């Protein structure tokens, strides 16, 4: 068993982790400039969040109204 592991290490068959000094990300173009934030991106993020919350609350209110309507419906044919 030990001889097999030595052979694997000797022939370089073990995958080595990449060296961080020589790796580059294709997605990093420039460093972030915190002095001038991307206000368009900030606005889109907060606007999208607000719109999703508004839709969620609207749907919840509609669901509560439907629940109350069905709960108040007392029909002998339906039950």
Q: Is the pTM value of this prediction over 0.85? A: no
Question: Can you say whether the dihedral through the CA atoms of 49, 50, 55, 59 is positive or negative?
Answer: positive
50 vs 47: CA distance, rounded Å: 5
Taking the domains of the chain in order of start, what are their residue ranges?
36-78
Per residue in 60-69, pLDDT tens? 999 999 999 9
Average model confidence (pLDDT) across the chain: 81
At 44, phi and psi to the nearest 5?
A: -65, -40
Contact 14, 8 (CB under 8 A): yes
Contact 36, 30 (CB under 8 A): no
């Amino acid at each position: 068993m030990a001889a097999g592991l030595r052979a694997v290490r000797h022939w370089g068959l073990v995958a080595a982790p990449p060296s961080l000094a020589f790796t580059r990300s294709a997605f990093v173009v420039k460093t972030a400039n915190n002095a001038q934030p991307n206000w368009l991106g900030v606005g889109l993020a907060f606007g999208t969040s607000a719109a999703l919350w508004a839709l969620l609350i609207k749907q919840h209110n509609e669901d509560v109204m439907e629940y109350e309507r069905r709960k108040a419906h007392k029909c002998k044919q339906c039950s």
